[in-house]
Chains A and B, each alone.
Chain A
Amino acid sequence: MIRTENLVKSFNDRTVLNNITTVFEQGKTNLIIGQSGSGKTVLLKSLVGLHPIDSGSIYYDDVCFSSLGFKEMKDIRQHIGMIFQGGALLDSSTVEDNVKLPLDLFTNQSEEEKLERVNFCLNRVELLNSNKRYPAEISGGMVKRVAIARAIVLNPKYLFCDEPNSGLDPVTSCVIDNLIKEITQEYQITTIINTHDMNSVMEIGDKIVYIHQGNKWWEGSNDDILRSDNKELNEFVFASAMAKRAKLATL
């Protein structure tokens, strides 16, 4: 479980996140949605400590993450998996080495054990026969999947995904969504996903936090979302034709 209390983050006097208080539960896929520029990425990066926050606190289970020193933060980070908006694979390493890196750094497994684990994770994201290729040689969707494999290779307790399926075709998007949901339940991970894909919201949104101009505007489950009467949320949700039809169907 990850909890924030009155989290405030600003860049040079411009407040990007304003008093965010919410809870992301374990074993659930928690979604952060909002328009482009609303502060989703900043929120995610603040949660993992890549952006120092101005005030408020962040708790990982019972540990106050936001008051930890560099060293203790590093210890917690070994339990964090993160998928960046652009994949962020190391350009100079092959797919296999990218996924293996956390194992190299933080385990004492033998080379065979490590390779077995790497292949298991690559299998999980349905990526076979690309082990020896470099990030520049695989497609955008494959990069995302390698990033997922890397994020789960150490069995994280917390998983952060910044738009894991943006720019992917609908089929691959669904595969990735379902994969994330599956491993979240299977390993009881606290998963937090940034998205503006309404399809993901309806499919895997156990809990949804809607951010509007840096404020938490609404939160609830994907069942609640269609019935909400929040004006901005409705404008956001029903901007897409498909969601509009879904709404009509529920009426």
Chain B
Amino acid sequence: MRFFEFLGKYYILMTKVFSRPEKIKIYRKRILFEMEALGFNSIGIAAIISVFMGAVVTLQMSINLESPFIPQVLIGYATREVMIMEFSSTVVALILAGKVGSNIASEIGTMRITEQIDALEIMGVNSAGYLILPKIIATVLFFPFLTVLSIGIGCAGGYFVSILTGIMNPDTYIDGLKMDFKPFSITYSLIKTAVFAAIITSISGFYGYYAKGNSLEVGKASTKAVVVSSITILIFNLIITQLILIG
């Protein structure tokens, strides 16, 4: 029952978010601002986790695939595939759900309880559109860049570890990276990221927008935003994979 209530309220909010903006120019400015706040400022964390993940995947593969029957070139290949297919889209999205999602929910939630949203409404502004739409557009456009970056940095992480530990031949690793590359897998990864971006921003915006009460409630709203967007991301990961790869 609660689930259907959530869906109904979410749908109503989204119709408000996607209704025609008052002034395109203002929105354009806000989109650029949000791209910096939500996208550009997340480059650091995306880069750090990617380099470590790439390194550890390569390390694990080298340790566990040590067998004369498995060519070493598969290690680079596997690292690349792991990064593209799941890590740089899904896992990065989960991390961003924590960072960006809590940020959005607490920002909008605070605006709600300090009557800033009411003030916008009184001015005749569509507050849902004004606050949430630029964030959705900014993240849907920017997060795919983070994914591409993460793939690159993750593969580089594997390369570094092969040099630093000497666990495998770096040149073989590079050969593996280039092996049997299907460009479509990148497209698949980017589609997933764009969907996840929309999920994170709209769900966090939802919890912030409907926050009420005091700072305690805003805290709860931002926790909920992170939990619900993470679970939704995992569910959609399954759905999209089924649709695109298996069809």
Contacts and interface: CB of A to CB of B under 8 A. Distances in A.
A102 B23 CA distance: 11
Contact of B118 (A50, A75, A92): A50
Question: Contact size class for A?
Answer: 20 to 34
Interface in B117-142: 118-126
A86 B114 contact: yes
A77 B22 CA distance: 14
A80 to B, nearest CB: 6
B116 A90 contact: yes
Given A104-B23, A105-B22, A82 B119 contact: yes
A105 B125 contact: yes
Interface residues of B, number: 18
A105 B123 contact: yes
Given A85-B115, A89-B116, A91-B116, A77 B122 contact: yes
A157 to B, nearest CB: 13
B124 A75 contact: yes
Given A45-B118, A90-B120, A105-B26, 9 more contacts: A50-B118, A78-B123, A85-B115, A88-B118, A89-B116, A90-B116, A90-B119, A105-B22, A105-B124
B79 to A, nearest CB: 41
A69 B119 CA distance: 19
B111 interface: yes
A84 interface: yes
B204 interface: no
B201 interface: no
Nearest to B120: A90
B110 interface: yes
Given A82-B119, A84-B119, A106 B124 contact: yes
Interface of A: 45, 48, 50, 74-75, 77-78, 80, 82, 84-86, 88-92, 101-102, 104-106
B213 to A, nearest CB: 14
Given A88-B116, A104-B23, A50 B123 contact: no
A53 B22 CA distance: 27
Contacts of B121: 50, 77
Contact of A101 (B114, B118, B123, B126): B123
Contacts of B116: 88-91
A54 B179 CA distance: 69
Interface string B26-55: 100000000000000000000000000000
Interface string B1-36: 000000000000000000000110010000000000
A74 B122 contact: no
A77 to B, nearest CB: 4
Interface string B88-108: 000000000000000000010
A80 B125 CA distance: 12
Nearest to B110: A91
A50 B122 contact: yes
A85 B115 CA distance: 9
A80 B122 contact: yes
A3 to B, nearest CB: 20
26 contacts: A45-B118, A50-B118, A74-B124, A74-B126, A77-B122, A77-B123, A77-B124, A80-B122, A80-B124, A82-B122, A84-B118, A84-B119, A85-B115, A88-B116, A88-B119, A89-B116, A90-B111, A90-B116, A90-B119, A90-B120, A91-B116, A92-B107, A101-B123, A102-B123, A105-B124, A106-B123
